Amino acid sequence: MRFIKVLGVTLCVLAMAGLAFAATNNPVVRDANRVTFAAPIRVGTSLLPAGEYMVRHTMEGQEHIMVFQPVKGEGPEVRAKCTLVPLTKKADRTTTSYQTNAANERVLQELVFAGETAKHVF
């Protein structure tokens, strides 16, 4: 009986230590942020007009999804898969990285939001 109690306590301590370790290694990302694009930008297969967008980070099963919704005016909701890449420290500011494609469109590559510890790579 004593063996079972000791085993139970040991397993509880190990489980709590594992949860604490996992919590410190998980990147910090908010569920919603705002971003402003100064020029039209392609996100996934959609071309977003210049403007301010509410961006929500959601999960669909094991996939990370970013949902872009215009803050002002009408416009479609755009969804794009992303990968979280940990940063070495909290981001000081919000930044966007893009490349230009053959049609001379900006194509979103990365989003980093101020205060988060991971970047979103598309």
What is the band of 25 on the pLDDT scale with cuts at 50, 70, 90? low
What is the band of 76 on the pLDDT scale with cuts at 50, 70, 90? confident
Q: What is the pLDDT of residues 7-16, one digit of tens each?
A: 344 444 444 4
What is the band of 105 on the pLDDT scale with cuts at 50, 70, 90? very high
- Alpha-carbon span 86 to 83, nearest angstrom: 10
Kindly state whether residue 4 falls inside one of the protein's structural domains.
Answer: no
- Alpha-carbon span 107 to 105, nearest angstrom: 6
* Number of independent structural domains in the chain: 1
Kindly state whether residue 37 falls inside one of the protein's structural domains.
Answer: yes
- Alpha-carbon span 33 to 84, nearest angstrom: 15
* Residue type, position 107, single letter: V
pTM to 2 decimals?
Answer: 0.75
Kindly state whether residue 114 falls inside one of the protein's structural domains.
Answer: yes
Kindly state whether residue 68 falls inside one of the protein's structural domains.
Answer: yes
Kindly state whether residue 58 falls inside one of the protein's structural domains.
Answer: yes
Average pLDDT along the chain: 85
Which of 60, 106, 52 has the alpha carbon at shortest distance from 79?
60
Kindly state whether residue 7 falls inside one of the protein's structural domains.
Answer: no
- Expressed as residue numbers, the domain containing 39 is 28-121
What is the band of 26 on the pLDDT scale with cuts at 50, 70, 90? confident
Q: CB-side exposure of 19: number of CA atoms within 13 Å?
A: 6
pLDDT reported for residue 75: 82
**Nearest-5° Cα angle at 37, 54 to 74:** 50
